[in-house]
Every structure is written in C-alpha cells, then in structure tokens.
C-alpha cells in the first residue's frame, strides 16, 4: 500500500508527512501575522497540538497577544523576501495569516504590496525553504454573493469586477497569486476563507470588533439592512489546523459560523450590556454624503473614518456563507455566534475598551 489514507468523505491525509501526528517535536510551523487577532489564535492552537512555533511579526507591531507564549520571534515584513527566508529556516509548515485588513486607506498601493506581492513572496520563500505545506488565509470577501441572500459556497461565481474596495480587490488578487505561484513552484498548499471572526484578543480592534465596541458603548443608534456570517476566532484558528491535516491541495475551505443580520448582532450586544437595541433602520442612500465627508476628513487627519463609501456599498449585500465543505472534509465545527460575541464583549470589557 502507499502511505495515504482516504477518509469516508474522500479527502486525503498523508500519513508519511507527519502532519497527522501532533506532538512530534520536529514539527515547526511559521505563522505570519502571529501577533494579530487571528494569527495569535492560530499560534495557540498549534502550541496546544504540540508544534514548535515561529512567529513572524513586524518590529513595530503590538505584540501583547504573544506575551507568555513559547514562540520564536522573527522580525520581518512581507515585502522583504530576505526576512521571510530567515524566518522559514527549519520550518515544515507555514500559516500565512498576515494581511493589511482595513476598509479604508490613504495609500492603497501599500495594501496591494502587502497583500498581493507579500503573499507571492511568502509562497516563493516557502518553496525555496523546502516547506512541506502552506496554509494560506484568504477571506470570504473574495467569494461570490447570491442576491437572494442564499448562503454562498466556495464555488459561487465571482470575478475581480465584483470586488468592492481595495481590501477585497487586494485579497482576490492575493489568492490568485498564491494559486499561480504555488502551482508554478510545486508547493503543497491549501486555502482557508474565514468569514467574520469575533472573539478575544482583538487588540486593534478589527472593523468588526469596532462594531461590537461601538454598539456596547451606545455609539450605534441605528442600523442598515445588511448581514454577516459570524464565527468565533478560535474556531477559525482550529479550522486552519484541520486544513493543514486534511485539506486537499489547491482547494479552498470556508471557515464560517452563523449568518446574522446586523440588527441581530446589535441586539445580542445590547442585551449583554443592558442597553436598548437600536430600532431605527436607515436607508443607505442618504449616508453616502456623510461617508464622503468622513473620508475627506480622514485624508486630512489620518484617522480611519467611521463610515466609508465602500463600506456602504458592501452593506448592500448580505454576506452569508456555508461551511458545509469544511464540515464534511475537514471535520470543522463552529460554536453559536452569540458565544463569539459574548467572548468578545468580555475581553473588550476586561481590557477597558468598554
């Protein structure tokens, strides 16, 4: 027999590679963006599974999420190939979770350099270092959306023209760059597409985390008709570990949770903090002039605007997704979205965001 087992659902596990044997001290994984919200959650999962972890972080990054963790720190930048080669020395696996995640930026070119060129640099460095497998963190932002609000999956039709804003466009092009470069270099890789992670250790916070904080502090008195797929960040992190073990080469897997309207999300937050949930639904059209003014002021002050034109355009769609493929092929599971929101609120409160 060869060294491959086949699961009941047809997915492959390569037992010869050691991926299916957690606790092997020879297994070292590099995590890019390791100090970030999702990256630090991935680090914790890998440590729990007995892997040695190398963490790639920028020299000026906030590293509170890594305090007390047994990781080897490497300072580097996705745009600096030499720093990537140094960080990957001796690593068997790479989890590329770093990304420039902002819905507005004064310098879009920098976002493309980090997300697109940076991802290409990661794949090239991994191939040169002899890495056995790369797990690339993409996003559901690059997937198609059904106008009738049916949950989308990995194969829902989409094109670059459907991408709203520089973040989505850069992530779409980044995933394409990973596919093309890995195929050319013969690197084993798998793609994950997280939906909207929520939970503890959102230090920035992320755009979604800001919604939770603002709702908890009474700064969102009304809402627009939109929806998100909400998932606990720790479930997404474990999904990355499962993708390393069971994901098929070159395939993508949605790591999502529960579809909720914005009104439902705000309602959960309001109940937990003892506030009255917002009851006013705003039309989007009158908000566009507000967004234009907010962006104009942001260009002057440098502070990220609370409302953006691209954000309003994205809010016109209900971003609902199905994780059925990951559930069947990876053994993925996600807890109820309310638990993710509660954990986020508790962490934000404990760290004085609320």
pLDDT of 260 strictly over 90: yes
pLDDT of 239 strictly over 60: yes
For residue range 265-312, list pLDDT tens digits in order.
Answer: 999 999 999 999 999 999 988 888 988 898 888 888 877 888 888 888
pLDDT of 154 strictly over 60: yes
For residue range 73-112, list pLDDT tens digits in order.
Answer: 999 999 999 999 999 999 999 999 999 888 777 889 999 9
Q: Taking residues 175-182, what's their average pLDDT?
A: 98
SS3 label, residue 83: helix
For residue range 124-139, list pLDDT tens digits in order.
Answer: 999 999 999 999 999 9
| Global pTM value | 0.90
- More confidently predicted of 20 and 1: 20
Query: What per-residue confidence (pLDDT) applies to 11?
Result: 41
Strands annotated E in the chain: 4-6, 12-14, 28-32, 52-57, 71-75, 93-96, 133-137, 189-194, 196-198, 222-223, 227-232, 252-255, 258-261, 280-281
**Closest among 174, 159, 13 to 96, alpha carbons compared:** 174
SS3 label, residue 81: helix
pLDDT of 14 strictly over 60: no
- The fraction of the chain above a pLDDT of 90, given in percent, is 79
Q: Taking residues 167-175, what's their average pLDDT?
A: 96
Q: Taking residues 3-23, what's their average pLDDT?
A: 39
Average pLDDT, the chain: 91
Apex 250 CA angle, 249 and 253, nearest 5: 95
Query: What per-residue confidence (pLDDT) applies to 150?
Result: 96
Apex 259 CA angle, 319 and 233, nearest 5: 95
Q: Taking residues 111-118, what's their average pLDDT?
A: 96
- The fraction of the chain above a pLDDT of 70, given in percent, is 93
DSSP 92-116: SEEEE------S--S-HHHHHIIII
Query: What per-residue confidence (pLDDT) applies to 26?
Result: 57
């Amino acid at each position: 027999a060869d060294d491959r087992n086949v699961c009941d659902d047809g997915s492959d596990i390569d037992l010869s590679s050691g991926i299916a044997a957690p606790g092997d001290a020879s297994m070292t994984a590099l995590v890019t963006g390791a100090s970030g919200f999702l990256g630090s959650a991935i680090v914790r999962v890998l440590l729990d599974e007995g892997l040695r972890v190398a963490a790639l972080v920028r020299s000026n990054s906030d590293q509170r999420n890594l305090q007390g963790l047994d990781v080897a720190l490497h300072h580097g930048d996705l745009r600096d190939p030499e720093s990537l080669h140094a960080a990957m020395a001796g690593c068997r696996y790479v989890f590329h979770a770093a990304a420039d995640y902002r819905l507005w930026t004064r310098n879009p070119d920098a976002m493309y350099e980090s997300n697109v060129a940076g991802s290409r640099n990661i794949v090239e460095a991994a191939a040169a270092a002899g890495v056995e497998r790369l797990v690339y963190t993409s996003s559901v932002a690059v997937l198609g959306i059904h106008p009738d609000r049916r949950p989308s999956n990995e194969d829902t039709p989409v094109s670059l023209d459907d991408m709203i804003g520089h973040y989505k466009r850069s992530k779409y092009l980044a995933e394409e760059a990973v596919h093309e470069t890995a195929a050319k270099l013969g690197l084993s890789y798998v793609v994950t597409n997280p939906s909207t992670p929520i939970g503890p250790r959102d230090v920035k916070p992320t755009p979604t985390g800001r919604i939770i904080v603002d709702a908890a502090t009474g700064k969102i008195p009304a809402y627009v008709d939109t929806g998100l797929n909400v998932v606990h960040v720790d479930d997404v992190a474990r999904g990355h570990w499962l993708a390393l073990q069971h994901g098929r080469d070159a395939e993508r897997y949605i790591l999502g949770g529960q579809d909720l309207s914005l009104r439902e999300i705000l309602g959960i937050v309001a109940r937990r903090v003892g506030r009255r949930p917002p009851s006013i639904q705003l039309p989007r059209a009158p908000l566009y002039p507000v967004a234009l003014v907010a962006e104009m002021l942001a260009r002057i002050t440098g502070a990220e605007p609370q409302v953006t034109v691209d954000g309003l355009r994205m809010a016109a769609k209900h971003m609902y997704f199905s994780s059925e493929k990951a559930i069947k092929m990876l053994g993925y599971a996600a807890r109820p979205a309310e638990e993710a929101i509660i954990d986020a609120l508790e962490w934000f409160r404990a760290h004085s965001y609320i």
